[in-house]
Structure 1
Amino acid sequence: MALKISNLSGGYGQTPVLHDVDFSVADGRVVGLIGLNGAGKSTTIKHIIGLLQPRSGKIELNGKTLAQDERAYRQAIAYVPETPVLYPDLTLREHLELTMMAYSLDKDQAWATLQPMLKKFRLDTKLDWFPDNFSKGMKQKVMIAAAFMTNAQLYIIDEPFTGLDPVAVHDLLDLVAAKKAAGASVLMSTHVLATAQDNADSFVLLKDGRVRAEGTLDQLRVTMQMPAASLDDMYMAITREGQSE
């Protein structure tokens, strides 16, 4: 089991956002993290990557917590945030080399992995460009390339399709499929439900900081008592819960 979250509660300051969240992401699986804005998706991710500390509960990656082995824990995760985070004074080449150092990668092997990816994203001729020269979509591609060049066990991608054109979305999904085939795990938070339904093996539906339902599409249909429903149908049903109360 790559990622296991047990009874996780936490949030910002004195305000709890997550309440006893339980779910796992197995090796070689793609899990869609689904929910309304404010449901707790980003807060969950921030706890996993160590930006927030749990009030209670446990987060384990390959059986170890962040406190037990911080370096190994962090190097086992590759993260693509919703909003690209780039250093204005570093070129694309320098961003990629910084990632290689952070993950203790062999530079020759890393560049060999990167070359087809950079060509696919049309970044191969832009290695000496600075972030100010990139569009939002290009910045997102930089983040994707930096993450997927690693040998992480868990890839966390938060709203990864924002700013990407349809060709780039297809290319990203190919990268996800390749990592899955190699035995890595992917946790994907997205509002693009049709794409999630087509590409994720299972789903975690969050509502108000709690897991409302978890499992494969068929398991969600049983939990939600909605036979033959799409992921979009179930998402809309969750949003309407309690509105007539």
Structure 2
Amino acid sequence: MGLKINNLSGGYAGNNVLKNVTFDVPDGNIVALIGLNGAGKSTTINHIIGELQPQMGTIELNGINLVQDPTGFKSQIAYIPEQPILYDELTLGEHLHLMLAAHNIDDEIAWQRAEQLLKRFRLDDKLHWLPVHFSKGMRQKVMLISAFMLDAPLIIIDEPFLGLDTVAQKDVVKLIHEQANKGNSVLMTTHLLASAAEFVDQFVVLHDGKSRFIGTPQALAEENQLQLDQLDDFFDLVQRELADES
């Protein structure tokens, strides 16, 4: 079933940022939510994770409605924000313990996943480190490990490649593929469209709080007379379009 957003309208403090946004993230699919700054990407994500209440419309995940059963809905989500959020007084190992406890998970399989992820991101010898010793890239890796070890039905990643080296970026793409191959859903935001086009199933383009385009990377490229490896030019085209309209 996956994530279903239907006619979502909402925003902050009465400011109606989103206007009837509708899109799906089916089981086993990777969807990239894209758009210029201010298009509504962060607002959409904040609605999905329950930080904002919809003014209109519905948000459902595997048949569970966010408003009707917020606990059941949120228990299915793992979320990685754009900026890492760590507790200064907790070690890496304690962060992992806290994340699992928050999701009522305490089994051997979950810890095996955590250990595999720690090795993949080369942090397995840093379980006793405090965040003050972590670089920005290492902090992002901690967030990735904390989320992917949950094996959640839906993982939401806001700008997954920010602050990561090339090797870590490839590891993230592999993890995203592994999630989808298990039948889980992945929703991400990114400005690196040409790179994302190599592995996402669909782009959802937001513009002025509305879903302007929903389709495959190839369809987005063709609609804008671009090659797939030229998709990073898409935002330049949108900027020029906006300039012509003003």
TM-score class, shorter-chain normalisation, is over 0.9
Correspondence 1:135 to 2:135: yes
Show the 5 A alignment for 1:223-242. Answer: 224=223, 226=225, 228=227, 230-242=230-242
Deviation at 1:221, TM superposition (A): 4.6
Distance in structure 2 (CA, Å) of the matches to 1:161 and 1:142: 13
1:6 maps to which residue?
6
Gaps of 5+ in 1: none
Distance in structure 1 (CA, Å) of the matches to 2:37 and 2:100: 33
Distance in structure 1 (CA, Å) of the matches to 2:141 and 2:88: 16
Deviation at 1:160, TM superposition (A): 1.2
Show the 5 A alignment for 1:1-245. Answer: 1-221=1-221, 224=223, 226=225, 228=227, 230-245=230-245
Tell me if the contact between 2:200 and 2:217 (Cα under 8 Å) persists in the aligned partners: no
Tell me if the contact between 2:193 and 2:231 (Cα under 8 Å) persists in the aligned partners: yes
Deviates more, 1:101-110 or 1:22-31: 101-110
The two structures, once aligned, show a CA RMSD in angstroms of 1.5
Deviates more, 1:199-208 or 1:104-113: 104-113
Tell me if the contact between 2:191 and 2:232 (Cα under 8 Å) persists in the aligned partners: no
SS in 2 for 1:199: coil
SS in 2 for 1:242: helix
Tell me if the contact between 2:2 and 2:25 (Cα under 8 Å) persists in the aligned partners: yes
Distance in structure 1 (CA, Å) of the matches to 2:159 and 2:100: 24
Deviating beyond 4 angstroms after TM superposition, the runs of 4 or more aligned structure 1 residues are 227-230
Q: Per the alignment, do residues 207 and 93 of structure 1 end up closer, same or farther by CA in structure 2, a change over 3 Å counting?
A: same
Deviates more, 1:20-29 or 1:10-19: 10-19
Distance in structure 2 (CA, Å) of the matches to 1:201 and 1:74: 24
Deviation at 1:100, TM superposition (A): 1.0
TM-score for both structures, normalised by structure 2: 0.94
Q: Report sequence identity in percent.
A: 53
Distance in structure 1 (CA, Å) of the matches to 2:227 and 2:216: 13
Deviates more, 1:135-144 or 1:62-71: 62-71
Cα offsets for 1:88-113 (capped at 9, x unmatched): 11111111011111222233221111
Distance in structure 2 (CA, Å) of the matches to 1:193 and 1:177: 17
Tell me if the contact between 1:226 and 1:234 (Cα under 8 Å) persists in the aligned partners: no
TM-score for both structures, normalised by structure 1: 0.94
Distance in structure 1 (CA, Å) of the matches to 2:227 and 2:91: 49
Distance in structure 1 (CA, Å) of the matches to 2:77 and 2:218: 29
Gaps of 5+ in 2: none
Deviates more, 1:37-46 or 1:63-72: 63-72
Q: Per the alignment, do residues 226 and 81 of structure 1 end up closer, same or farther by CA in structure 2, a change over 3 Å counting?
A: same
Write the letter of the residue equivalent to 1:235.
Answer: F
Deviation at 1:130, TM superposition (A): 1.0
SS in 2 for 1:170: helix
